[in-house]
Amino acid sequence: MAEGRIETIASDLKKIVQGNVLSDELSRTIYSSGACIYSLRPLVIVQPRHKEDVVECVRYAVRNGIPLTARGGGTGRAGQGIGEGIILDFMRYMNQVLEVDPEKKWVRVQPGVVLGRLNARLKPLKKFFPIDPSTADYCALGGMIANNSSGPHAIKYGATRDWVESLEVVLSSGEVIQTGPRTVSGLEISGGTDGLEKRVYSGILDLLARYQGPLREEKPDTMKNSCGYDLWQVRKNGSLDLTPLFVGSEGTLGVFTEAKLRLADLGGKTHTAFFYFNTLDTVGRATLELLKLSPTMLEIMEKQIIDLARAKFKEMAPYLPEGIEATLFVEFEGPSEEELGERMRRAQQRVVQEEKLAVSVKAAQNPKDREMLTKVRSVSGPILNKVKGPKKPIAFIEDAAVHPRRLGEYIAGLRGILKRNGAEASIYGHAGDGNLHVMVFLDMKKAEDVARMVRITEESCDLVLRLKGTISGEHGDGLLRTAYVPRQYPGLYPAFVELKKLFDPKNVLNPGRIVGNDPDLMGKHLKFGAEYHHVSTRSPFDGEALSTEVEACHGCGKCRSYCPLAMATNDESFLGRAKANLLRELISGRLDPDVFLASPELKKVMDGCVNCKRCLTECPSGVDIPWVSLMARAHHVKNKGQAFKDRFIADTHLACRVGNSLAPLVNLAFSIGPARALIESAIGLDRRRKMPAFSSKTFREMYRGSDKGNGKVAYFLSCYANYNDPEGEGRALVEVMERNGFGVEVPEFECCGIARISSGGLEPALKGVGENLEKISALVGKGIPVVFSEPSCALAVKQEYPRIVNSEKAARAAAGCYEVHGFLSQLKQEGRLNTHFGEMKLRVGYHNPCHLRALGISKEVIELLRLIPGLEVRAFSDQCCGLAGTFGMKRQNYDLSMEIGKPLFEEIKKSGVERVVTGCGSCAMQIAQGTGLPVVHPLALLAEAYRKG
């Protein structure tokens, strides 16, 4: 569509809605995909603020014949949350819990509420919304309702449909209706209006009467179903209720603006176990036996995942014996340990001893076992994404369900199909309700694999339907399965078409999903596909390493649940997925690299990664989003240069030297309003940011290190320890090392350069990197370990340098560097740590900095602090403080930075601790500002305790 048309639509919409309207090419690309294999670039994205915005958008779309697709977390597997017209993103603003009644057990929510956040809010009330898709922490209730989602506990709680009391829905006419039971007498319906709502009720009654036969004959014989429209439950006890019909309708019948949901009481005690099978033939029968004992979860994991998990996670090996074909994970919930123990014994007796269906069983005996069993069970999906190579686990026959008694037959049939088509797959999922997730390994850039995907789909669809199953148990139809809906419901499908016409005569609401007339739909609009290829970008993204990294993102959207910026803003552009989507489209030329790769718009999105490194541990595909974002920033800096403000603020060493040489003056200026305004306009440092005072003397001026002890370490002195906290962090390091028998040399290193590197200023950073590597290599060559008290400096040397210079020397130097708590912890493990600590009667709380976490160190610091007698140490939850190096110092980021830190500040303030402990100078500054509490370095406490010992 011509640019002009997009601009017209955007400008029209801006006049009628209060929410944001995005129509620039980058935003449209960001929203072009999700957790599916498809990509469709919308015309415009609207982030509605309230239902009136939604009504206006629907009316506008219908008036102008523009497709409109509602979107939640974008975790839909089947491509139902993307579209080529207007996207309504409910996550940004319409994400509020409106009302809770714990007594009557219901809650009213807006569609953009993330399930995990709702349940966190309900926990103190001992209630929860019991449907548990594995995307609970990043999918939204609107999306769950529209897909009729469910999870491993479906055998106890059913699916979303069973828990939706009523919905507020915007119909295609712009009417806002409230669903709920309406009394039916003949064709007279009470409570309707004369508009579309009334026509819909009458039309449905007519459909139900005309399609009685197909409704009876074509209902899948399964325990769950998300394929087609649910016309089975609309009429009940003399009433007509549209609620169950809207649930599972994938945004094709109306747009939800509110939902009233029923709640459950938080569950009781549970017992869990793994049953092991050396053949798949008996799994179906074992499932039926276990179902007789009313488990709350019954999950299957098949050989390939078992072998992968065992190889990848050593701690899982005892729970996944060699040579097994499958496991069933079973959970029982009950009132007492005795009753649960008895049920587990009966299960074991039936399945292992009497029927000999499973070869053995491992029941959790203690909390650690229980934790490990749960961990092993939930490894299934995520571990597949760690498989390297061009063939990726593709979700396209990932959601069929059959009755559990046909499970064995289904798995055997699937294996035959895969073998015939020369494909490998991993199978896991919900044995208890016969819903299997099958991930087939394909290279979607190859035409033959795309064709193979279609063939496998055709054959497995036939298999499922022969077994009276459904092609979708919980994920819905979308672009993937709509073409197969007529096959599942040959007699009923015309009723679906009529139903869609009734609700949406202009075919504007998420058109082509559930009903459509394109038999080849599943193979179109592919994110990769046979025509996908790389173009030259004249940037580091032309290299294989970066392009592979970018393409590894499978779009799941989990980054919404851990990226501090995404969590604080609910803004899609902050997700790692947004960065990967943009870069993928750039390297494939679908976005013009010459126009966008060095553009300020792209830089802005890439700046939305503050290099906290959470992606590295939390992203299921392990996509190194901080690295690709950094390289994109570096490309921008190389081509467009860097503003003075950005350069100055990123040059920590220079900024500190200036500050220190004028210490009294600068400290005074930091406390005077007009001076702060001047500083703000000169270097962009926000006037509200409380800066730590510069010490009148630096560490270097006061201390020389120490030559006591038999051992020797070199101290990589951080700017904060040298210029701001020489008596705390710096001196403490020397003391703690001395107490453990190490003399401390303090060489003159260059600034580690982490702020510069993070800003994209790689070239200016290189000189310092090179000099540091020379010095570190010389020390390491002499057998002298280099220790760091500042995690960000350690991270720079250990993780960033080796990638920037990509040399053996850098890798060797990195191996000889130690973050100090890791170093001390090692001494503790070897029994060499001096533990002569004196008593300290103090309550402290520990915050683990992101960069320490990224170095793999967290509980080690707490374990060290807990050696101090009398010291009460509380560990705060794993949240970012929000400062993120220099990010939160800048005027444009100050508010966001404080918003990110808010949950942590609140937790700290509620905890009643006297001091906060953290090893990072930036975190210390932010936490002091956010809580008003004193913040100390862990080394300072250890040193104080040694002095008392």
Ligand X SMILES: Cc1cc2nc3c(=O)[nH]c(=O)nc-3n(C[C@H](O)[C@H](O)[C@H](O)COP(=O)(O)OP(=O)(O)OC[C@H]3O[C@@H](n4cnc5c(N)ncnc54)[C@H](O)[C@@H]3O)c2cc1C
Would residue 294 be called left, alpha or beta, if left means φ above 0 and alpha means ψ between -120 and 50 degrees?
left
Residue 413 CB coordination number (10 Å)? 19
Enter the tokens of residue 927.
């936490």
Task: Please report how close the Cβ of residue 134 comes to ligand X at its closest, in angstroms.
Answer: 4
What gap in Å lies between CA 615 and CA 620, rounded to an integer? 9
| Stretch of 180-188, 401-409, 471-479, 572-580 contacting ligand SF4, by CB under 6 A | 572-580
Smallest gap from Cβ 556 to ligand X, in A, equals 4
**Least distance from C-beta 500 to ligand X, angstroms?**
14
Partner from ligand X, ligand SF4, none binding residue 255, C-beta < 5-8 Å depending on class = ligand X
- Residue 633 engages ligand SF4 in binding (rule: CB under 6 A): no
CA distance 423 to 438: 12
76 binds, among ligand SF4, ligand X, none (CB under 5 to 8 A by kind): ligand X
689 binds, among ligand SF4, ligand X, none (CB under 5 to 8 A by kind): none
State the binding partner of 143 from ligand SF4, ligand X, none, CB within 5 to 8 A by kind: ligand X
d(CA 578, CA 608): 10
- CB-wise, 440 or 714, nearer to ligand X? 440
What is the rounded CA–CA span in Å between residue 37 and residue 41?
Answer: 14
Q: Which is nearer to ligand X, 142 or 822 (CB)?
A: 142
Distance CA 604, CA 573 (A): 10
Q: How far apart are CA 439 and CA 530, in angstroms?
A: 20
Q: Which residue has the tokens 């829905």?
A: 169
Among 326, 508, 623, 941, binds ligand SF4 (CB under 6 A): 623
The span from the CA of 936 to the CA of 918, in Å, is 6
Q: What span, in angstroms and rounded, lies between the C-alpha atoms of 479 and 477?
A: 7
- Indicate the helix (H) or strand (E) that contains 629: helix 625-640
CB-based burial, 312-339: b 16+ in 10 Å, e otherwise: ebeebeebbbeebbbbbbbbbbbeeeee
Q: Which is nearer to ligand SF4, 615 or 786 (CB)?
A: 615
Report the C-alpha gap between 253 and 500 in whole angstroms: 7
- Out of ligand X, ligand SF4, none, what residue 362 binds, judged by CB under 5 to 8 A for its kind, is none
Residue 228's binding partner, choosing from ligand SF4, ligand X, none, with beta-carbon cut-off 5 to 8 A by kind? Answer: none
Q: Which does 80 bind (CB under 5 to 8 A by kind): ligand X, ligand SF4, none?
A: ligand X
Chosen from ligand SF4, ligand X, none, partner binding at 615 (C-beta under 5 to 8 Å by type): ligand SF4
Q: 672-691 mask for ligand SF4 (x: CB under 6 A)?
A: --------------------
Structure tokens at 534: 């790389």
Residues 600-619 that bind ligand SF4 (CB under 6 A): 609-615, 619
Closest approach of ligand SF4 to the CB of residue 73, in Å: 10
Cβ closer to ligand X: 572 or 585?
A: 572
Which residue is listed with tokens 């020379």? Answer: 774
Which of 77/362 has CB closer to ligand X? 77
310 binds, among ligand X, ligand SF4, none (CB under 5 to 8 A by kind): none
Strand 842-846 and strand 435-442: the pairing is unpaired
CB of 760 to ligand SF4, least distance (A): 14
Q: For residues 787 and 820, give the distance between their C-alpha atoms in angstroms, rounded to a whole number.
A: 5
Binding partner at 623 among ligand SF4, ligand X, none, C-beta below 5 to 8 Å by kind: ligand SF4
Neighbours of 534 (CB within 10 A): 14
Per DSSP, 267 falls in state P
Choose the contact partner of 619 out of ligand SF4, ligand X, none; CB within 5 to 8 A by kind: ligand SF4
What is the sign of the dihedral through the CA atoms of 736, 742, 747 and 752? negative
Closer by beta carbon to ligand X, 401 or else 884: 401
Q: Which is nearer to ligand SF4, 362 or 613 (CB)?
A: 613
Nearer to ligand SF4, 40 or 610 (CB): 610
Angle ∠(913,916,921) on CA atoms, nearest 5: 170
Among ligand SF4, ligand X, none, residue 147 binds (CB under 5-8 Å by kind)? ligand X
Shortest Cβ distance from residue 60 to ligand SF4 (Å)? 31
Q: Which residues contact 579 (CB under 8 A, 6 or more apart)?
A: 605, 606, 608, 609, 625, 628, 629, 632
Strands (E), 718-765: 742-745
DSSP string, 774-843: HHHHHHHHTTPPEEESSHHHHHIIIIIHHHHH--HHHHHHHHTEEEHHHHHHHHHHTT-----PPP--EE
Q: Which does 81 bind (CB under 5 to 8 A by kind): ligand X, ligand SF4, none?
A: ligand X
In the bound state with ligand X, the residue whose beta carbon lies nearer, of 253 and 896, is 253
Cβ proximity to ligand SF4, 554 vs 712, nearer residue: 554
CA distance 882 to 126: 31
Minimum CB distance to ligand SF4 smaller for 154 or for 566: 566
- Residue with smaller CB distance to ligand X, 149 or 225: 149
Helices (H), 124-282: 141-147, 154-157, 196-210, 212-217, 243-246
**CA 524 to the chain's CA centroid:** 27
Q: Which is nearer to ligand X, 32 or 758 (CB)?
A: 32
Residue 614 interacts, among ligand X, ligand SF4, none and using kind-specific CB cut-offs from 5 to 8 Å, with: ligand SF4
**Residue 900 backbone zone (phi > 0: left; psi -120 to 50: alpha; other: beta):** alpha
Least distance (Å) between residue 469 CB and ligand X:
16
Task: Kindly indicate which of the ranges 203-211, 398-406, 441-449, 561-569 contains the residues binding ligand SF4, using the contact rule CB under 6 A.
Answer: 561-569
* Closer CB to ligand SF4, 310 or 445, in the complex: 445
Distance CA 617, CA 34 (A): 21
901 binds, among ligand SF4, ligand X, none (CB under 5 to 8 A by kind): none
SS3 108: strand
By residue count, the chain amounts to 949
Pick the closer one to ligand X by CB: 78 or 786. Answer: 78
Which DSSP symbol is given to 505? T
Output the six-digit token pair for 938: 């862990």
Q: Which of 580, 744, 757, 793 binds ligand SF4 (CB under 6 A)?
A: 580
The residue among 171 and 357 lying less far from ligand X, judged by its C-beta, is 171
Taking CB within 5 to 8 Å according to partner kind, which of ligand SF4, ligand X, none is near residue 804?
none
Q: Please count the residues of this chain forming the interface with ligand SF4, following the rule CB under 6 A.
A: 27
> What is the closest distance, in whole angstroms, from the C-beta atom of residue 654 to ligand SF4 in the complex?
25
565 binds, among ligand X, ligand SF4, none (CB under 5 to 8 A by kind): ligand SF4
For residue 413, the minimal CB distance to ligand X (Å) is 23
Give the Cα-Cα-Cα angle 43, 580, 21 (nearest 5 degrees): 30
- Residue labelled with tokens 């100050």: 894
Site for ligand X, rule CB under 6 A:
34-35, 69-77, 80-81, 90, 111, 133-135, 139-140, 142-144, 146-147, 149-151, 250-251, 255-256, 381, 474-475, 510, 556
Q: In what order do the strands lie in the sheet with 424-430?
A: 360-363, 269-277, 326-334, 297-302, 424-430, 435-442, 392-395
Contact characters 530-559, ligand SF4, x per CB under 6 A = -----------------------xxxxxxx
CA 804, 754, 653, 781 torsion-angle sign: negative
Q: What's the rounded Cα separation, in Å, for the pair 302 and 327?
A: 7
Interface residues for ligand SF4 in 146-205 (CB under 6 A)? none
Chain residues that interact with ligand SF4, rule: CB under 6 A: 553-559, 562-563, 565, 575-577, 580, 609-615, 619-621, 623, 625-626
